[in-house]
Chains A and B, each alone.
Chain A
Amino acid sequence: MPMMISASLNIAMRGRGQQLRSAPLGMVAATVLLALLPLTHPSEYLLSFLFIAFMYASLASSWNIVGGFAGYLSFGHAAFFGIGGYATGLALLHSGWSPFITAIPAALLAGLFAALVGYPVLRLRGPYFALVTLILTMVVRLVVMNLSWTKAAQGFWLPFPPFDNWTSRAVFYEVMLAILVLTLLVVRWVQYSKLGIGLIMIRNDEEAAQTFGVDATFLKVTAFVLSAALAGLVGGIFAYYRTYVHPNTMFDAYISVTTVLMALFGGRHIWFGPTLGAITLSVLSELLTLSIGTEIARVVFGLLLVAVVVTMPDGILGFTSRSARAHDGSWLKFLRREKWKS
């Protein structure tokens, strides 16, 4: 096994300069093509499917800033998603402000919440951190469920967007695509920035990192805030898409868990790993559901996930020749490339 890893590492090292150059170009091309998709007048079904797939891709990618880069496995991403959703939902209900605009302050609110809880929660490590983030979501859900101004356990309906059904689906599709692209740009920037290098140090050995001058608390909270704000943005749009806001759908542990699984599945040490995981799993789950029916599909899907997590601990990107670990190290080659330019 170590032999395999180092062999794949060599391949990845040789190829990674090229890869980094081509990755953003590929991203631009893919974005343009996907943005033009509604011109072909696809079905509402396809647009909705892609909306959800992009939503999970964005959630998994933003989760990865903390879960992948810093190595703090959070099971509380839904808390920030839900806060974003409630913020835009309530703003629309009370003031009539469009979630397409209020999603931005809603994201900031989710980030602020992350900053507040981040300081105490990020002192915990390993299973304790995972558990507390899971509980955090439940606590927020309970609070929202018992406050009258959030409409408590009844939830609330939102007015439909001012478009016909198909146009509405197309608009949501475009907005979620834009959010996914934004998320990927942020996550990619983080990976190759000083912040990202600090997070890698924290993941590897937090104590040692501190003795090299890393302010671990500050970096972790920064990562947590970024991660949460992006999730809040997604949640803010999702609430409008669903037009129904309820504690059980906005603070759903299923969202947190799915997010984590998708990121792990794709490979959490690389910025585009979680997106790959989310898209692959969304398509797979949909195909299984269509071919063998929902119930059996879930069983097969679950078994598949177990098999992948057991056999490919670094995700599919870690398993292929482009080793996750080698990618992790690619910031130096990346910067060397920048140096050639100047």
Chain B
Amino acid sequence: MSSRNVLQGEGVTLYFGGLAALKGVDFHVDEGEIVGLIGPNGSGKSSLFNLISGLMRPTHGRITFLGHDLARFRPHQIAHLGVGRTFQIVRPFAELTTLQNVTASALYGQRLASVVEAEHRARDTLRFVGLVDHHDQPVRDLPLAFKKRLEIARALATGPKLLLLDEVFAGLNPVEIDGAIELIFRIRDELDITVFMIEHVMKAAMQTCQRIMVLGEGKKIAEGLPQDIARDAAVLAAYLGPAYA
């Protein structure tokens, strides 16, 4: 595994009016890594993902992806550069079937001219995430665990080099979480995709990530190996209050 830098942020700052969602965050994700992003509610995790995928613009600072300054690209162009993402609240196209959802994202994400080719690739992706048996099902009928897999499949179908996962374990039972963890490892190992994931289920994050970065009130308060993060005083203070640190 090389340590080529895939994603890098320097002094990333985001203001909503007078309110700072992110304050001078520096971060990097290297090729082949699975990096976790944790932090209490409102600490700026999803905002950071929105900045990376171009749905929002940083007020200050710079984010580069494979050397491209993302400020120069619109969201669909960032997708074409190779950034795929899921959303915290699953947002599949409810009126379409599973296969149609993934086909649509392959069609546009990989800039294919042919819907037939897109459907072909979508089937491969569904097979990879284990949803191929449910391809003809309208999405609204899928259970949550499958919807989460579908979210991942849609992001994978765009052919990303970096996958941003926003709380894919939330709401899953322990068995489903184990399945999801396995899927994330396969995404990195079999598809060579770097993973940057927001997670609230700490046990799962500890098991999956090789490195964890912690945000608190818009600032990076810690970064390191999962076992170190679990003992970090600043992290405990951020989650539980200073008395517990």
Interface on A for B, CB 8 Å cutoff? Answer: 2, 6, 9, 13, 194, 197-198, 200-201, 204-205, 207-216, 269, 325, 328-329, 331-332, 335-336, 338-339
Specify which of A201, A207, A215, A331 is in contact with B93 (CB 8 Å cutoff): A201
Q: Within 8 Å of chain A (Cβ to Cβ): is B76?
A: yes
Residues of chain B contacted by A214 (CB below 8 angstroms): 76, 108
The 5 closest A-B pairs by CB, nearest first: A210-B75, A204-B93, A212-B105, A213-B79, A213-B108
Asked if A213 and B109 make an inter-chain contact with CB atoms under 8 angstroms apart, the answer reads yes
- In this complex, what residue of A is CB-closest to B159? A213
Interface on B for A, CB 8 Å cutoff? Answer: 53-55, 74-76, 78-80, 84-85, 87, 91, 93-97, 99-100, 103-105, 107-111, 113, 115-116, 119, 136, 138, 140-141, 154-155, 157-158
Q: List 25 A-B contacts (CB under 8 A).
A: A2-B140, A6-B141, A9-B138, A194-B107, A197-B104, A197-B108, A198-B108, A200-B95, A201-B105, A205-B91, A207-B75, A208-B91, A210-B54, A210-B74, A210-B75, A211-B55, A211-B79, A212-B157, A214-B76, A269-B95, A329-B96, A332-B99, A335-B119, A336-B119, A339-B116
Asked if A216 and B76 make an inter-chain contact with CB atoms under 8 angstroms apart, the answer reads yes
Specify which of B76, B79, B93, B99 is in contact with A205 (CB 8 Å cutoff): B93
- In this complex, what residue of B is CB-closest to A215? B76
Residues of chain A contacted by B74 (CB below 8 angstroms): 210, 215
Q: A209-B108, A211-B75, A213-B76 are in contact. List 11 more A-B contacts (CB 8 A).
A: A194-B108, A197-B104, A200-B104, A201-B105, A208-B91, A210-B76, A213-B108, A213-B109, A325-B95, A335-B116, A338-B116
Asked if A208 and B138 make an inter-chain contact with CB atoms under 8 angstroms apart, the answer reads no
Cα of A242 to Cα of B201 in the assembled complex, Å: 69
Residues of chain A contacted by B55 (CB below 8 angstroms): 207, 210-211
Residues of chain A contacted by B116 (CB below 8 angstroms): 335, 338-339
Cα of A77 to Cα of B93 in the assembled complex, Å: 27
- In this complex, what residue of A is CB-closest to B75? A210
- How far does the Cβ of B50 sit from chain A's closest Cβ, in whole Å? 9
Asked if A213 and B85 make an inter-chain contact with CB atoms under 8 angstroms apart, the answer reads no
Asked if A204 and B95 make an inter-chain contact with CB atoms under 8 angstroms apart, the answer reads yes
Residues of chain A contacted by B95 (CB below 8 angstroms): 200, 204, 269, 325, 328-329
- In this complex, what residue of A is CB-closest to B164? A211
Given contacts A331-B115, A335-B115, contact A213 B136 (CB under 8 A): no
Residues of chain A contacted by B155 (CB below 8 angstroms): 211-212
Residues of chain B contacted by A331 (CB below 8 angstroms): 100, 115
Given contacts A13-B136, A329-B100, A332-B99, contact A212 B79 (CB under 8 A): yes
Residues of chain B contacted by A198 (CB below 8 angstroms): 104, 107-108
Cα of A329 to Cα of B53 in the assembled complex, Å: 28
